[in-house]
Amino acid sequence: MPVTVDANLGGSAEAISASELAEIGLRYEVDGAIATITLDRPDKRNAQTFATWSALARIGEHIPDQVRIVVVKGEGPSFSAGIDLRMFTPEGVPGQGSFVSAASLEETTFERRIADAQRGFLWLRRPDIVSIAAVHGHAIGAGFQLALACDLRVVADDVKFCMKEPALGLVPDLTGTKPLVELVGLPRAIELCLTARVVGAEEAVRLGLAELAVPAGELAQAVQDLAGALLATDRGAATATKRLLQGALGRSLEEQAIAERREQIVRIRTLFASG
Ligand code: CAA
């Protein structure tokens, strides 16, 4: 039975309650080893704000130790229509400012503000968890980047990925550019971003943007099945292997071989050392 929990499990000053999350347009549930984060502002197509990103970061900081899988999904017809378009208006998002007000921020403050937003995305790559984006309908801009922030993407057959930022005069800055290039390669990433065209389910799987595409009605079950298969693997081995794989692209073959040896010594000692 999933339980909705306050994210203040450690009782820290950065507590965030279920009702606070609801106000921001998020739900957070923990069911054993699986945590589920739901973008829950369907009437606005799960548009995201700075409050969304700061809440995501705080959820990440307080994920209970037993959690091994984090599922990120969207309520309603879209996964997420990206950043709240009120940011482009002079009035902005109440309490959060606008791009107009941000434009006059001093450089360091401005950079810190974007870094704070990125914190909501970065933790999803932690080696000790596997994050799965369950994506249906539109995943635009920040929505596409949130899906890219996850380790794996399972998509419904109605999915529509679109990197809209350049078409709006911006760059994708929510940690999406690196995984995009790693997944589809530089030329395709340039083409997708600079045309802001829509990528559907079949192409997403073909390009490596998604591991699996299923009929929309089967998305939840497909994610649950994948989570079950992932949970069948020993946690220590899963964490060490993810860490190795994450580091592989940045290392030479010799460096990677050294990293493999080091991780394996820890595994074998953990499993077989007596006394
Ligand atoms: N921000 C705020 N409100 C949004 C929104 C957004 N990004 N997207 C949709 N909404 C609101 C609409 O204004 C509408 O509200 P009302 O009912 O109050 O009028 C409601 O959600 C439903 O929208 P639609 O009627 O348009 O729904 P649809 O299902 O026909 O279309 C859609 C869905 C294709 C996603 C369309 O809403 C759309 O194109 N949205 C804008 C997408 C966009 O350009 N996002 C910005 C991406 S760039 C980015 O994210 C920047 C960054 O990271 C820095």
Instruction: Tokens for 40, please give them.
Output: 């829950």
Reported as a single tens digit per residue, the pLDDT across 74-93 is: 999 999 999 999 999 999 99
The stretch 202-209 carries a mean pLDDT of 98
Reported as a single tens digit per residue, the pLDDT across 130-184 is: 999 999 999 999 999 999 999 999 999 999 999 999 999 999 999 999 999 999 9
CB contact at 8 A, 163 and 192: yes
Instruction: State residue 274's pLDDT score.
Output: 84
What confidence category does residue 13 fall into, taking pLDDT thresholds of 50, 70 and 90?
very low
Residue nearest to ligand 1 atom 10, measured at CA: 44
Q: Which atom of ligand 1 is nearest to the CA of 82?
A: 50
Q: Cβ < 6 Å from ligand 1: which residues?
A: 44-45, 47, 77-78, 81-85, 138, 140-142, 164-165, 168, 170, 173-174
Q: Which atom of ligand 1 is nearest to the CA of 165?
A: 48
Q: How far is residue 87's CA from residue 89's CA, in Å, rounded to a whole number?
A: 6
Query: At what angle are helices 142-149 and 107-122 packed, to 10 degrees?
Result: 50
Distance 47 CA to ligand 1 centre (A): 7
Q: Distance between terminal CA atoms of the chain? A: 39
What confidence category does residue 208 fall into, taking pLDDT thresholds of 50, 70 and 90?
very high
Instruction: Tokens for 25, please give them.
Output: 């347009």
Residue nearest to ligand 1 atom 46, measured at CA: 82
Distance 44 CA to ligand 1 centre (A): 6
Instruction: State residue 16's pLDDT score.
Output: 84
Residue nearest to ligand 1 atom 4, measured at CA: 44
Least confident of 4-13, 104-113, 243-252: 4-13
What confidence category does residue 2 fall into, taking pLDDT thresholds of 50, 70 and 90?
low
Chain length of the chain: 275
**Residue 253 identity:** L
Instruction: State residue 100's pLDDT score.
Output: 95
Domain ranges of the chain: 18-231, 235-272
The stretch 49-56 carries a mean pLDDT of 98
Select from 43, 45, 89, 96 the residue to mutate for testing ligand 1; criterion: most ligand atoms less than 8 Å from CB.
45
Instruction: State residue 262's pLDDT score.
Output: 98
Q: Which atom of ligand 1 is nearest to the CA of 145?
A: 53
What confidence category does residue 15 fall into, taking pLDDT thresholds of 50, 70 and 90?
low
Reported as a single tens digit per residue, the pLDDT across 209-265 is: 999 999 999 999 999 999 999 999 999 999 999 999 999 999 999 999 999 999 999
**Residue 162 identity:** C
Q: Which CATH number fits domain 18-231: 3.30.1490.100, 3.90.226.10, 2.60.40.10, 2.40.110.10?
A: 3.90.226.10
Residue nearest to ligand 1 atom 13, measured at CA: 44
Residue nearest to ligand 1 atom 22, measured at CA: 44
Query: At what angle are helices 142-149 and 177-184 packed, to 10 degrees?
Result: 70
**Residue 212 identity:** L
Residue 63 DSSP class: -
Residue nearest to ligand 1 atom 16, measured at CA: 44
What confidence category does residue 189 fall into, taking pLDDT thresholds of 50, 70 and 90?
very high
Kindly state the percentage of the chain with pLDDT values over 90: 93
